[in-house]
C-alpha cells in the first residue's frame, strides 16, 4: 500500500446509496503554483472523480462486508438447543478488491486501497422454547429454539495498535450489536450404525440483527506522503483524522442440515438470503506542510516529529506551503445478499464450540466463532 493510501484507510463501514458528499483541497504558499490551478475550486473534476471512482467503490465494498458480518451474530451452529445455553462469539467479515488510482495527467495520487472489514463481538443466550414453556420432549414446541445476542464493546488504544500491528493509530472504536433468531427443526435427526453417524435433519430459521459503530481515529503519518503533479514530486505531511457513525440492520432467513460423526462432531452446510439497510455519516481531514522537489533542490523526507517545527513564514516564502483536505458526507443503502454456510460444531458434555464460514460472493467472506455452555 502506498503511503498516501493511509489517508483513506479508515473509510470502511460507509454505505453506498443516496449520498451527500463534500470534499475540498486547500493550499497556502508558493508550492500551490505547482498544483493544478482548479484544485481548490469546488467545481474541480478531481472531487467528482474522487467520489465516483474511489469513495463510492469503497462504500460499496464495506457495505457488503458489514452486512455479512451481521449474519453471524447468533452463531447458531446446527440450529437446535436442548434446553438452554450461554456463551460468547465473534463475527468478522472482509472484502478485498483491486486498489484504485485517481488522477490525470496534471494531478495523480498513489494507488488507494479498496478494502472492507467489520468485526462484531457478542454475548449469547439461547433456549429451547418448548422447554421454557414446560412441554415434554415429544411435544412439537420442543422443535423451536430461540437465539439472542447483544453486546456493548469498545476497542482501546492498545487493542487498536495490536489489531493494526502499527502504533501510529490513535483513537477509539465503540460497537453496539443486538439481535436474535427463531429456528424450527423441520425434520428430526436420524442415526445410523448405533448413532456413530447421524443425519441432522433440516433446520430453518429467521432473524434480525442490528449493529451500531462509532469510530474516532487518527493516523499519525511516520513521514510525509508523495504526491505527483504536473511532472513534479511533492511531499505532504500531516496527520489524518477520521470520524464516522454507521448503523446496519439485517433481516435474513436460512436453511441448514448436516452430518454428525462419533456423537460429538457435526458438519453443517446450508444457505440463506438477507435483506440489509444501513445509514452512515463521516468526516475526513488532513492538513500539513507541502514541500516540492524542483531542479534546484532535493526534497527532504519530512519526518512527522519535525513537521510542526517548520516556520509558516518559511513555507510561504519558498517552494513549499500548507496543503489540506476536508471531506464529509452521509449515505444510506439497501442491499440483498444470498449466501452459503459451512461449519463445524463440537459438542462435548456441557461445552459447544462452533466455527462457521459464510460465503456472500467473490472475495466476500465472513467467519464466525462461538463458545457456549449447553445445559
Least confident of 96-100, 153-157, 223-227, 361-365: 96-100
**What is the count of structural domains for the chain?**
1
Render pLDDT for 281-332 as a digit per residue (tens, 0 to 9): 777 788 888 888 665 444 555 555 555 555 555 555 557 788 887 777 666 7
What 8-state DSSP symbol labels residue 38?
Answer: T
CB 319 within 8 A of CB 294: yes
pLDDT: which is higher, 341 or 300: 341
CB 239 within 8 A of CB 223: no
Terminal CA-CA length for the chain: 49
Across 143-151, average pLDDT = 97
Full DSSP string of 208-245? EEEEEEEEEEEE--SBPEEEEETTEEEEE---EEEEEE
333 dihedral zone (left: phi>0; alpha: psi -120 to 50; beta)? beta
Per-residue cell: 95: 472484502
For residue 4, pLDDT over 50 is answered with no
Across 244-267, average pLDDT = 93
- The Cβ-side half-sphere exposure at 23, using a 13 Å CA radius, reads 20
For residue 179, pLDDT over 80 is answered with yes
Has this prediction a pTM greater than 0.85? no
* Residue 104 belongs to domain spanning: 3-374
CB 209 within 8 A of CB 275: no
pLDDT: which is higher, 139 or 27: 139
Instruction: Give the dihedral of Cα atoms 174, 362, 48, 282; nearest 10 deg.
Output: -10
For residue 112, pLDDT over 80 is answered with no
- Return mean pLDDT, the chain: 78
pLDDT: which is higher, 261 or 320: 261
For residue 233, pLDDT over 80 is answered with no
- What percent of the chain has a predicted confidence (pLDDT) above 70? 67
- Which segment, 182-196, 226-240, 272-286, 319-333, is predicted with the most confidence on average? 182-196
**Residues recorded for the chain:** 375
Render pLDDT for 347-364 as a digit per residue (tens, 0 to 9): 998 999 999 999 988 778
Amino acid at each position: 500500500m502506498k503511503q498516501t493510501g493511509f489517508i483513506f484507510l479508515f473509510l470502511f463501514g460507509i454505505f453506498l446509496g443516496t449520498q451527500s458528499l463534500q470534499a475540498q483541497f486547500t493550499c497556502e504558499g508558493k508550492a500551490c503554483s505547482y498544483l493544478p490551478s482548479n484544485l481548490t475550486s469546488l467545481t474541480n473534476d478531481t472531487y467528482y472523480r474522487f467520489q465516483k471512482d474511489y469513495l463510492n467503490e469503497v462504500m460499496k465494498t464495506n457495505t457488503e462486508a458489514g452486512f455479512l458480518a451481521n449474519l453471524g451474530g447468533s452463531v447458531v451452529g446446527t440450529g437446535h438447543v436442548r434446553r438452554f445455553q450461554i456463551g460468547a462469539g465473534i463475527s468478522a467479515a472482509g472484502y478485498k478488491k483491486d486498489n484504485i488510482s485517481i488522477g490525470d495527467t496534471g494531478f495523480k495520487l498513489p494507488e488507494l486501497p479498496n478494502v472492507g472489514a467489520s468485526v462484531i463481538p457478542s454475548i449469547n443466550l439461547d433456549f429451547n422454547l418448548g422447554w421454557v414453556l414446560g412441554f415434554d420432549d415429544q411435544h412439537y414446541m420442543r422443535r423451536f429454539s430461540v437465539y439472542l445476542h447483544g453486546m456493548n464493546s469498545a476497542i482501546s488504544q492498545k487493542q487498536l495498535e495490536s489489531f493494526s500491528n502499527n502504533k501510529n493509530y490513535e483513537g477509539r472504536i465503540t460497537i453496539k450489536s443486538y439481535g436474535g433468531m427463531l429456528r424450527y427443526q423441520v425434520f428430526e435427526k436420524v442415526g445410523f450404525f448405533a448413532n456413530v453417524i447421524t443425519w441432522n435433519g433440516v433446520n430453518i430459521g429467521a432473524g434480525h440483527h442490528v449493529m451500531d459503530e462509532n469510530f474516532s481515529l487518527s493516523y499519525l503519518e511516520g513521514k510525509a506522503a508523495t504526491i505527483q503533479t504536473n511532472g513534479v514530486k511533492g511531499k505532504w505531511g500531516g496527520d489524518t483524522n477520521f470520524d464516522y457513525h454507521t448503523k446496519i440492520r439485517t433481516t435474513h432467513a436460512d436453511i441448514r442440515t448436516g452430518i454428525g460423526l462419533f456423537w460429538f462432531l457435526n458438519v453443517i452446510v446450508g444457505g440463506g438470503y438477507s435483506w440489509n439497510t444501513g445509514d452512515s455519516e463521516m468526516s475526513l481531514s488532513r492538513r500539513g506542510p507541502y514541500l516540492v522537489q524542483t531542479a534546484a533542490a532535493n526534497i527532504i523526507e519530512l519526518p512527522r516529529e519535525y513537521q510542526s517545527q517548520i516556520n509558516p513564514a518559511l513555507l510561504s516564502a519558498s517552494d513549499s506551503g500548507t496543503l489540506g483536505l476536508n471531506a464529509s458526507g452521509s449515505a444510506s443503502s439497501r442491499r440483498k445478499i444470498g449466501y452459503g454456510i459451512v461449519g463445524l460444531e463440537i459438542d462435548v458434555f456441557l461445552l459447544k464450540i462452533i466455527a462457521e464460514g459464510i460465503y456472500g460472493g467473490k472475495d466476500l467472506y465472513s467467519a464466525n466463532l462461538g463458545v457456549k455452555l449447553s445445559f
